[in-house]
Amino acid sequence: MLKNLPVPTPLTAPYWEGCRAGELRIQYCQVCERHQFYPRSVCAECLGSVDWVAASGKGEVVSYTVVRLAVSEAYAEEVPYVVALIRLAEGPQLMSQVDCEIEQIATGRSVEVYFDVWSDEVTIPKFRLVS
Ligand SMILES: [Zn+2]
């Protein structure tokens, strides 16, 4: 059984290309000088045009859950694992897996991105705790 794979669209393709290149890409609005994530065709604040930029990959855990029941057999060997809401240093928040011992996760913990290569086409951003 296979894991659920992302299906890039014209809007999200730069994000997935960035992951393959080892870069966490988010959007930036030159008009109101703010970052945004998830990808949108225009700035959600001012409707200005947005550019893709490389984020620092650093952030902080805002909230989290521990997944103890695999959604399918493809994930059976991974449980339990942590899924967290992460506020990036640039401001936007994203949901991702944090690779750590369950006992180590807490809100406010600092994290940084790394990239988990699943295939030639699919690279998934995940996070690790940093002290
Ligand atoms: Zn804007």
Angstrom distance (rounded) from CA 47 to CA 82: 34
For 93, the token pair is 């928040």
Place of tokens 């620092």: 56
Say whether 44 sits in a helix, a strand or coil: coil
Q: How far is the CA of 22 from the centre of ligand 1 (A)?
A: 26
C-alpha 13 – ligand 1 centre gap (Å): 21
Q: Which amino acid is at 96?
A: S
C-alpha 72 – ligand 1 centre gap (Å): 40
Q: What percentage of residues in the chain have a pLDDT greater than 90?
A: 92
The pLDDT, as a whole number, for residue 131 is 86
131 contact partners, CB below 8 Å, separation of at least 6: 110
How far, in Å, is the centroid of ligand 1 from the Cα of 23?
22
In the reported structure, the alpha carbon of residue 117 is separated from the centroid of ligand 1 by a whole-number distance in angstroms of 33
Residue of 88 and 131 predicted with greater confidence: 88
What pTM value is reported for the model?
0.93
